[in-house]
Structure 1
Amino acid sequence: MVNRTVRVLPLLAVALSLVLLAGCGSSGGSPRGAGATSPSVSGTRSPAASGTSGRPAPPAAGAVPQPAHVLVVVFENKGYDNVVGSSQAPYLNLLAKRGALLTDSHGVAHPSQPNYLALFSGSTHGITDDSCPHTLHAGSLGAQLLGSGHSYASYAEGLPSAGFAGCDNGNYARKHAPWTNFANVPARTQLPLRALPTDYAKLPQVGFVIPDLCSDMHNCSVSTGDRWLSANLGGYVSWAQTHHSLLIVTFDEDEGSGANRIPTILAGQPVRPGHYGGRVDHYTMLRTLEAMYGLRPLGTAAHRTPLTDVWR
């Protein structure tokens, strides 16, 4: 009888220890292997969560910011290698260093006009030249923004008056002002460059800025356009860095090559600085603008993915 009791006591001790351990574990959360994760040390994020070099994590897949203001500037007929890294474009290269440079950006056609139409409406509408005038009854970014309660305007250098519908005026060219062709874009939103607010808080949520045929590098040098950008929008870029706003600088096309590779730069507070690959074009930029303001993608833009990796 004594021997049997001796053998039973160790078994009871082991069982009691297992019960106590199970009780302690039940208050510690889910067991490993059932979806549990180890807590981070001292509350710090791992590199995978916070990005590299201490930068904040990128938005979730498919996410884009909604900037307070966006200005889109379109220059003319210069390929990527004629601007990026060029001593003739110190300000543009400063923006590329401090902002996001898209290294595989492309125009969609030659000559100029189809590219502007693609950027503004998701289609070239069968227009393959720089002919003027045209009247289009189709969807456009301007009409989308106004119809959804957002503010929108365009500012063109050399435009003599708001809503001017002529094909040219000095160095102003309607072929570079696609909104003029759309019946659904009010004339009151088509403004001369001198109407661009100097109080940037009064800017529309989305605006396009079109330099004239010299300032946009079409008839004049890269250095001329670079100086124009610094003089006319350098103040806005500095302001945008602290006011959740954005500048997009792009070109309509290169000098006529089949690749049609162009510089595209984004600058402002929402932007994560860096160089970004992956092929994009004017439809991609339209799709991104539409995603920012919850708009239905127009035309070919529906077949593009908005930019997501360039944001803080």
Structure 2
Amino acid sequence: MVVLENHNADAIIGAPDAPYLTSLADQGAVFTNAHAITHPSQPNYLALFSGDTQGITDDSCPHSSAAANLGSELTAAQLSFAGYSEDLPGTGYTGCFPGQYDRNHAPWVDFTNLPGSVNLPYTQFPPDPERLPTLSFVIPNLCHDMHNCDVATGDSWLHTNIAGYLAWARAHNSMLVITFDESDDSPSNRIATMVLGPMVVAGQYGEYVDHYRMLRTLEQMYRLPALGHSAQTAPVTDVWTH
């Protein structure tokens, strides 16, 4: 799963500055009625990762929680998890805002039931995707996630860094999810969200999807307990080939 930043859906899919993301949308399942939970950024990452905003309503840092989350549930099921953050100074680093890294975009750092070893610099993303954990998050830096830089810059970074994994995924029954933390402060908070892989039926899907429903879908895939508000929604079931 790749999480990008702060753009409305119509500024991404079909936009002239996002040719790569637009091409991916043509190849995968696109949720045209996808929404973030709230504003600003940090609560959305927590919602996606743990099924709850954990009482956080702003982008302050640091925070700490012992609540169950996607990483801890995968571990309990003897599956593996890692978050790869671009410009993270080192494995297990817990600082907030050094350079272009932003801890608010790496929610696993906030949870005391996860070891520091799951918090990895993007430089450790394996060249051979066979070595990836069961489920991974990729968090570009503040420029490449489109927070501080323009859409074209982020789109180009994705093409350079994700295209190789996607080609591998199509041959190895793996899946790529691309979503955004939130829109650009719009009340509707509609975001671009898509899934790609050999198990996906390409097309546009108009059903309501938010971060809680995306989490519920991942939980269903790995037969994990439904966390927090994800228990109040159903997993996505209509985009799969089997």
**Would the TM-score normalized by the shorter structure come out above 0.5?**
yes
Q: What is residue 56 of structure 1 aligned with on the other side? A: none
- How far 1:84 sits from its partner (Å)? 1.0
| Matched letter for residue 137 of structure 1 | A
Is the counterpart of residue 158 in structure 1 residue 111 in structure 2? no
- The Cα of 1:217 is off from its aligned counterpart by 0.2
Task: State the partner residue of 1:95.
Answer: 24
Query: For 1:278, what is the secondary structure of its paired residue?
Result: strand
Over the matched positions of the two proteins, sequence identity in percent amounts to: 53
Per-residue CA deviation, residues 199-223 of structure 1 (Å, 9 max, x unaligned), is 0111111000000000000000111
Residue deviations 1:211-241, cap 9 Å, x none? 0000000000111110111101110011111
Alignment of 1:172 onto 2:101: yes
Note the residue ranges of structure 1 that are not aligned, 5 or more in a row.
1-71
What's the counterpart of residue 231 of structure 1? 160
Normalising to structure 1: TM-score of the pair? Answer: 0.77
> Which residue of the partner structure matches residue 241 of structure 1?
170
- Name the structure 2 match of 1:302: 231
Of 130, 140, 151, the residue aligned with 1:222 is 151
Q: Unpaired runs of 5+ in structure 2?
A: none
Q: Matched residue of 1:142: which SS?
A: helix
Report the structure number with the largest CA radius of gyration: 1
- Quote the residue 1:262 is aligned against: 191
1:214-271 superposed Cα distances (whole Å, 9 cap, x missing partner): 0000000111110111101110011111110000000000010110000001111111
Helix, strand or coil at the partner of 1:162: coil
Take 2:134 and 2:19, find their aligned partners in 1: how far apart are those partners? 28
CA offset digits 1:93-115 (Å, max 9, x no partner): 11100111110000001000000
Pick aligned residue for 2:181 from 225, 244, 252: 252
Separation of aligned partners in 1, 2:23 and 2:125: 23
Q: For 2:152 and 2:234, how far apart are their aligned partners in 1?
A: 33
Q: Which residue of 1 aligns with 2:141?
A: 212
Q: Which residue of 1 aligns with 2:116?
A: 187
> How many angstroms apart in 1 are the aligned matches of 2:129 and 2:55?
37
**Match of residue 65 from structure 1:** none
| Equivalent residues, number | 241
C-alpha separation between the residues in 2 aligned to 1:311 and 1:186? 33
* Residue aligned with 1:245, SS: coil
Structure 1 residue runs of 4 or more that deviate by more than 2 Å after TM superposition: none
